[in-house]
Structure 1
């Protein structure tokens, strides 16, 4: 626990909340004059035992439950970046999921311009794999130049995808389905993810692979066979990153090489020094 940083973050945000906005009356005579909610008022609003919040803010609450941190974060109106900081300061780890279910659904508009400037196949999807932006090279990957509205749904369930994603049952599905499971663990109330899972479980080919489990949570660095609509069969090496203001979203860059895999040996890892 980083007590000093935790105390500073919580005090600053608590001071911004007017007690009157939650039905409390500010004393007019002698007494407390500090801005914002009192620690006691925070306990009342969170329906916690008196002194619970004081322990958290003072750093004397070792390993506070995530539920308490989430309730405090929402009461204080923290954004997703501040939520990450709160968990890192209090627990020395990143949060188990987003603070708000609506997070991860939108990116700054400049990302379209950024994606357009990438030479390789590139696109951005949100936390539910709904497509947010894609470049011309991404559109050319598909026979009709029309990318799917949800990339995960397409990759797992569309018959055309199972043709384009060469060796789908061995090279793609066992690596994609664990990503779906991991996303649901972080966002159990996401309707889009739940619907994809429902359809996967009803699919005779996808369901057994999904039930088999797996530990893959991202495709960064993977190399997989792919049938390009214009360039023909080849191999795609994947680069994955995340727009930092949009937790759960992903920027995907596919470096495609037509032909046999052995024609383009894997590059060594980049490292400083």
Structure 2
């Protein structure tokens, strides 16, 4: 079989050949007597249209490059054919130059080992800010060594945050809002992320903050360290499956 002209076409065909008719909710079809008779679970291209409940010939046109799928059609085909999250993202990026919105994925169980092995201040959080893991350097920022259960909610809504995040209104809040919105919109199928976005939108104090359009990455922000005093912190957010690893590079002041 000749190689598909586009990556997403090849992905669709690869997964179509792996699936069975039962996977698509279709009954086996009868083989002609000249081919031995019996039943077959093989999925033909026309069967994809049947399972898709779309127009006749839709999948064949997509496969042949005569129809460029819309984002909705692409995601329906990806789900129907059982593409992995990674392959779904590859095809979507090729077609639309953007990552697709996908169902929430569980964070890696090894994030704790990754974070606790760091020397710098570090934690791992879900898109809505819930704490997954943290190291001793991160715990040392908070009274009694007990970090908040939800980093985003603490940073945005808790009055105590201003004791640590200096110049909160002008330095931290504009970037925090952008960072939180970006994380939540990337995970907009996550109910907890959607609830946080709604609460942010309903908060009059946060609505008064003028955002700069930049998140935490690359910023240099004032921070009061309980043990080391006032200084500057440079946040480094790194996306992982179902989570963000936040590293804070702290430099004490003079």
Task: Output the TM-score relative to the length of structure 1.
Answer: 0.81
Partners of 1:81 and 1:30 in 2: CA distance: 41
Q: 1:94 aligns with which of 68, 74, 98?
A: 98
Q: Given that residues 128 and 196 in structure 2 are in contact (C-alpha distance below 8 angstroms), is that contact kept between their aligned partners in structure 1?
A: no
Cα deviation, residue 34, structure 1: 8.7
Please give the root-mean-square deviation of Cα atoms over the aligned residues, in Å.
Answer: 2.4
Q: 2:13 aligns with which of 11, 14, 22?
A: 11
The aligned counterpart of 2:117 is 117
Cα deviation, residue 35, structure 1: 6.6
The aligned counterpart of 1:195 is 195
Equivalence map 1:153-232=2 (5 Å): 153-209=153-209, 212=210, 214-216=212-214, 218-232=215-229
Partners of 2:237 and 2:100 in 1: CA distance: 20
Tell me, yes or no, if structure 1 residue 44 matches structure 2 residue 50: yes
Partners of 1:241 and 1:184 in 2: CA distance: 15
Partners of 1:6 and 1:56 in 2: CA distance: 10
Partners of 2:7 and 2:33 in 1: CA distance: 31
Moved more, 165-174 or 19-28: 19-28
Q: Given that residues 131 and 151 in structure 2 are in contact (C-alpha distance below 8 angstroms), is that contact kept between their aligned partners in structure 1?
A: yes
SS of the counterpart of 2:22? helix
Q: 1:242 aligns with which of 239, 242, 254?
A: 239
Cα deviation, residue 89, structure 1: 3.4
Q: Given that residues 28 and 41 in structure 2 are in contact (C-alpha distance below 8 angstroms), is that contact kept between their aligned partners in structure 1?
A: no
The unaligned stretches of length 5 or more in structure 2 are none
Distance 1:208 1:131, change over 3 A: same
The aligned counterpart of 2:63 is 57
The aligned counterpart of 1:66 is 71
Partners of 1:174 and 1:192 in 2: CA distance: 22
Task: Output the TM-score relative to the length of structure 2.
Answer: 0.86
Moved more, 4-13 or 158-167: 4-13
Tell me, yes or no, if structure 1 residue 75 matches structure 2 residue 89: no
The aligned counterpart of 1:144 is 144
Q: Given that residues 20 and 26 in structure 1 are in contact (C-alpha distance below 8 angstroms), is that contact kept between their aligned partners in structure 2?
A: no
Cα deviation, residue 30, structure 1: 5.3
SS of the counterpart of 1:3? coil
Q: Given that residues 3 and 89 in structure 1 are in contact (C-alpha distance below 8 angstroms), is that contact kept between their aligned partners in structure 2?
A: no
Distance 1:194 1:259, change over 3 A: same
Cα deviation, residue 129, structure 1: 2.1
Tell me, yes or no, if structure 1 residue 27 matches structure 2 residue 30: yes
